[in-house]
Structure 1
Amino acid sequence: MSNIFTKHPLYLLVRCALPHCISGVFLSLCYIIDGIFVGKFLGSEDLAVMGLIMPFVIISFALTDMIAIGSSVLISLSLGKGKSKEASILFSTSLVVTFVFSCFMAMCAQRGLFRQ
């Protein structure tokens, strides 16, 4: 196992950021392909609606990523200190928060809060 503290910081940054950047490229590609299909098969009005709702989708993904990344850091710190019970509680809490946020977003979409 290599010691990460002996590596150059730029190497570590690229090594950690590259998978996230690749994920972002594929996610953007999915949005583009969705836009092509919606525009071709459903029409320009539906494509406009998709363009209006996409910022909310991106914000919800960003918030869930924020919860996941932040909780994984706290869980790792707890496990590193040998506090497995605290890590388990942190994991359960982050899972519940993500679930509640997802339910909230689904209720907003169902009740038409994102509609015109």
Structure 2
Amino acid sequence: MEEDPMPVLEKLLHLKSVQLTSDAFVGRRMVCSKGGFPQLYALKISKESELQEWMVQKGSMPCLRTLTISNCQELKELPDGLKYITSLKELKIKGMKRGLKEKLILGGKDYYKVRHIPKVGILSTF
């Protein structure tokens, strides 16, 4: 897909889990809108080689519990809107750009985005 799949997927009211893998989306920007994905509990984004920017608006994915992001090498940073997803219990990140871990640990520039998440795992950064 060349167009952002999120505007269509987030309107599927009973969607519980989404996996975008292996360049399923070849665009550079993805947006999760307010009110979108009302029942989504698991999201996995992996091997999306063109993805550079991901935005999550306040009020999106209110039931999300698990987020996995792996091998999205061009993704510059985690979305600021993650701080609003208070239901998030686990974040797994692997195979991302160097420096991401330093931004997300206690005292890091982007720590505020993940500080409410009980389990954060960052592995195999480049």
| Structure with higher helix content | 1
Q: TM-score, normalised by structure 1?
A: 0.23
Structure with the greater relative contact order (CA < 8 A, sep ≥ 6): 1 or 2? 2
**Max Rg structure:** 1
Q: TM-score, normalised by structure 2?
A: 0.22
| Structure with higher strand content | 2
